[in-house]
Structure 1
């Protein structure tokens, strides 16, 4: 991505589209399953001591690990070097955050799958925990500047690249 080809507004808009797209990918199946589950005439009794529930409840660990990995994982850490150009830093931000969004999407699908297999509000709460993680990772301009350790001069350059 050459400096003359870069447009800050397009870059920022593209990251936001990816962010909202990943949320929508998990929200639609979850909402459909939740509505079907809530409106069903046949009520399923949940036995928290049944082996089936205990096995499915282990999926919460997968969701928990995904939420933890988004913040502490090796593959999602920014690799910043003082010699990196502004465009390289922005490329690094985009790559790592797309990876984070994919991990959260997998965690959201896992919560929805678990809720479908065993209707329980535990899995609904797990899904909402994933949504909360998404809200902390919203790619605002301030977050990009903070995470990439950009200077005021770099921020000014961003707005000049429009």
Structure 2
């Protein structure tokens, strides 16, 4: 695998496309529903079934948010002898899973807003957006998460 060239700009561009694409997939339905939201039609006493459904969906999104940070399937599997290209692939694999989990959570909140208009669902959606900002795939995050050495970091920018 050592004969594969490492191009940080291409890798960074690929993961940023995934990152922004998934955010856009959740933001568009949320924005459309939010713009069409008529707050004057919100009943002060929400139907019991919709209220319970809203609470369950918020709990589901809270679990998904927790899982993105602590879940077993979204932890990096780093080995002592991993090459830099393998670390790049591992970073992309794990972070794509994290973005997809948050994407499903965002779509869930948008769907829940459609069913039961409640400002708690809007707050839950915005909390998902905040998490995206903490998971932004920057070079510093890659170096920190993958525990790169200075030599590895210099290899990222060699051509």
Q: TM-score, normalised by structure 1?
A: 0.92
Can you give the 5+ residue segments of structure 2 that lack an aligned partner in the other structure? none
Give structure 1 regions of 4+ aligned residues with deviation exceeding 4 angstroms. none
2:39, 2:31 → 1: CA distance?
18
Q: CA 1:46–1:109 in 2, change beyond 3 Å: closer, same or farther?
A: farther
Matches within 5 A, 1:82-101: 82-101=80-99
Equivalent position of 1:116 in the other structure: 114
Residue range with higher mean Cα deviation, 126-135 or 55-64: 55-64
Q: Contact 1:107 / 1:130 at 8 angstroms: preserved in 2?
A: yes
Q: How big is each residue's C-alpha offset from its partner over 1:62-121, in whole Å with a ceiling of 9 and x where there is no partner? A: 110110000000100000111111111111000000000000000001111111100010
Q: Contact 2:2 / 2:83 at 8 angstroms: preserved in 1?
A: no
Q: Contact 1:62 / 1:110 at 8 angstroms: preserved in 2?
A: no
1:77, 1:130 → 2: CA distance?
19
Q: Give 1:49 deviation, angstroms.
A: 7.0
Q: Give 1:54 deviation, angstroms.
A: 1.8
Q: TM-score, normalised by structure 2?
A: 0.94
1:44, 1:102 → 2: CA distance?
31
Structure 2 residue corresponding to 1:67, chosen from 62, 65, 73: 65
Equivalent position of 2:156 in the other structure: 158
Q: CA 1:32–1:151 in 2, change beyond 3 Å: closer, same or farther?
A: same
Equivalent position of 1:36 in the other structure: 36
Q: CA 1:116–1:86 in 2, change beyond 3 Å: closer, same or farther?
A: same
Higher relative contact order, structure no. (Cα contacts within 8 Å, ≥ 6 residues apart): 2
Report how many aligned residue pairs link the two structures. 159
1:131, 1:148 → 2: CA distance?
24
Q: Give 1:50 deviation, angstroms.
A: 2.3
Can you give the 5+ residue segments of structure 1 that lack an aligned partner in the other structure? none
